[in-house]
Structure 1
Amino acid sequence: MANNNQPDSRTRKFAKVIPPQPMQLEALTNRGTPPPQDLGPLEQLVGAWTGKGTGWNMIALPFQKAPAPPAGFKFRLLMNQYDEELQFTFVDDDVPNRGLTRPGHSDFDQFVVTVDYQQKIAQVVAEDRPHSGLAGAAGLPIHHEPGLWLYEKNRRSKDDQIKGNEVSEVELDVARLASIPHGNSVLALGHSEVHRGMPTIPPVSGLPSGRFEDLSTPDYDFKSDPYLEPYKHYINNPFMGNVGAPGFPGFSPADMNQILRFANQGVNIVRTTTLTVDTTRKRGGIANVPFSVREAEPVSMKSTFWIQELD
């Protein structure tokens, strides 16, 4: 083989190595700096929130090995008590969305407050019905969610607000963006409210939506439907986790907010900020990977944060 002593063109040539030089940093924006005094309704979120055994979750999951009807159907109802870590970090108080002037508006650009969050959840106690052997042990990580909360300072959209028989218009000033490791991404839009004292926490049914709203649905005999046996079981035997506090009602599909009202008993709440977001508002929604769409598609999400300031 001929050798003409020419360097191989495939060989990389390196210049003289220069030791790392001190970096010259220039503050161009307020990103990453301590939060200012006013982040709107998101101000009280910033920081670390930790709950030990104070989280509760119910989810219906596909279950291939379920007993044949009427003893069972192709799902199981999983109940979790969990620990939670929520870390909220200030990002920016003036993210610009560029636009044009519109009738009735002097502003052509929109400016958005942005707060980053990371949510981590590990279960404390779990059980399911019918029993699957899949509920998992204590300490099992069951959720991780990175996301953003947004507060629109101007140029807000409006949407209908329906309460009972009354319809009004509400400004959409907050939004929540979330990414879920199962293959889901969420955009939920909503509004904020601030009021004195304790929040009004309404009952929330955990029964399957679309067929009926609660146990009092007219012309429906809840107890005679074998499909709903797992729900009926936890209504008659609320999930207690490891809690032994006197008067603790347990976690029941009949009213999943009952635990929150129990926790607020005797607490002197002087002010509450409420953040309510919903994927069915305006251009919100959930995007899912194909497997989730085929097997158990999440079609909507509604979330309420009650941020309570204590005396």
Structure 2
Amino acid sequence: MSKQDPIAQLQVEIAQLQSAFEDLNKHCSETNSHGAIFRCASCIPQQFSHCANKPTNPQQPNFVPDFNVPLIADGGGNQDCEILKKLGPLAGLIGTWVSTRYGGFNVMPIPQDNAPNGFILKNMSYYEVMTFSAIQGKVANRAGNYEQDAYTIFYSQRVFFADGPQKDELIHAENGSWLHQVIAPQGQGTLNKKPWVPDTPDPLPVQAPDLTIVKQVSVPHGNSILAIGGHDCFRGAPSIPVANALPTAGGASFKVPYGPDIPENPNVNPNIVLQVALDSLYQQSIGVIDTTVLDVDTQADGNIANTPFMQTHSNVPRFKTTMWLERLSNGQNMLQYSQDITLDFSLINGKDPSKRSRYMFPHITANTLFKVQ
């Protein structure tokens, strides 16, 4: 872990990122009346230069659908009050978030046949960038006489090695969506036409509070994840739980590579980096005004699909994550998360590679990010 003050380092990195964003927007983009960005020729490959600064269909400006209207709402959706209202607890995520170089910690067990007990640890510090953008409108799931509307945020995540021989190389990337699910009358607006006006239940069914939030994840390892849960809001800072990244079976020898079983050891409790980030704020007299919690788990009526290779060698039977969206007293917004993926390894049993046993390993990551745009 770096001994440099994380807040001071963050301020430098934020300034660098903001400068890069401003330079890009100044020199390499124009916007049309819909807010769609057209990159200038100097910012795109030469073979695509003929497409720069041109609408998709200039001969038919009224063509339907108008592909110049972006899927993502202008400004990430944060200019549309109606979208913000319907997004509920997800609205605060909209924007770009970055961590300090050593802000995150990853406990990463990996199968390795020639290693003791058949696995190694590739634990590391990391930094990342996450972006969240709201789509324009709702996604309606109709039940016949009422519906469940999903107000949606798309996200992308890029994770990089903080140091070591692979410093600044991409280690992980994923995208997906967060949904805020709301029960509503079916066919609102122009879809309610005689004779097909739904007989809306009175009262409407109530959305289960513990099933209001959904995270859908697409991971290039070959995993598709559907995790469901709820949310909470309260004044002040969150209480960061102590994580346990130790394998659930295998005996004492499996735990040796992790080091001492104490909360201060990030190999066992990667959530310690979250508490360190909070403590650093307190030392600078920066407090947390309020916190919004998003908590989802595949065991809450969710599911995971894994490719055949993953099922055989490194299956993922469970995914859960908690995100804390915190508003700070210095005007900044902070996002902390702890993600726990259960890995089901097929490990060699002895020296015969044909003899294998299944063992469960927690793969836990935790990081603190700050909103920069």
**Deviation digits for residues 26-49 of structure 1, max 9, x if unmatched?**
799995334233220001100100
1:271 aligned residue: 290
Moved more, 23-32 or 90-99: 23-32
Letter in 1 for 2:270: M
Query: Structure 1 residues 295 and 251, CA, compared in 2 at 3 Å: closer, same or farther?
Result: same
1:59 aligned residue: 108
For 2:170, which of 138, 141, 159 is the aligned residue? 141
**Deviation digits for residues 142-167 of structure 1, max 9, x if unmatched?**
11101000000226654xxxxxxxxx
After the TM superposition, which residues 41-120 of structure 1 pair with which residues of structure 2 at under 5 Å, given as runs?
41-53=89-101, 54-66=103-115, 72-101=116-145, 108-120=146-158
**How many correspondences in the alignment?**
236
* Aligned partners of 2:104 and 2:273 also within 8 Å: no
After the TM superposition, which residues 226-305 of structure 1 pair with which residues of structure 2 at under 5 Å, given as runs?
226-231=253-258, 233=259, 235=261, 249=264, 251-253=266-268, 255-265=269-279, 266=282, 267-282=286-301, 284-305=302-323
1:150 aligned residue: 179
Letter in 2 for 1:273: T
SS at match of 1:143: strand
* Aligned partners of 1:92 and 1:115 also within 8 Å: no
For 2:326, which of 299, 308, 311 is the aligned residue? 308
2:49 aligned residue: none
Separation in 2, partners of 1:305, 1:40: 15
Query: Structure 1 residues 42 and 93, CA, compared in 2 at 3 Å: closer, same or farther?
Result: farther
Query: Structure 1 residues 175 and 77, CA, compared in 2 at 3 Å: closer, same or farther?
Result: same
2:247 aligned residue: 208
2:358 aligned residue: none
Letter in 2 for 1:287: A
SS at match of 2:274: helix
* Aligned partners of 1:50 and 1:84 also within 8 Å: yes
Q: Which structure: greater helix fraction?
A: 2
* Aligned partners of 2:180 and 2:214 also within 8 Å: yes
**RMSD (Å), alpha carbons:** 2.6
* Aligned partners of 2:150 and 2:180 also within 8 Å: yes
SS at match of 1:125: coil
2:223 aligned residue: 184
TM-score w.r.t. length of structure 1: 0.69
Query: Structure 1 residues 47 and 121, CA, compared in 2 at 3 Å: closer, same or farther?
Result: same
Separation in 2, partners of 1:184, 1:173: 23
* Aligned partners of 1:275 and 1:306 also within 8 Å: yes
Letter in 1 for 2:59: Q
TM-score w.r.t. length of structure 2: 0.58
* Aligned partners of 1:250 and 1:259 also within 8 Å: no
Separation in 2, partners of 1:92, 1:171: 25
After the TM superposition, which residues 7-18 of structure 1 pair with which residues of structure 2 at under 5 Å, given as runs?
none
SS at match of 1:261: helix
Query: Structure 1 residues 81 and 57, CA, compared in 2 at 3 Å: closer, same or farther?
Result: same
1:21 aligned residue: 59
Letter in 2 for 1:206: A
Separation in 2, partners of 1:292, 1:50: 30
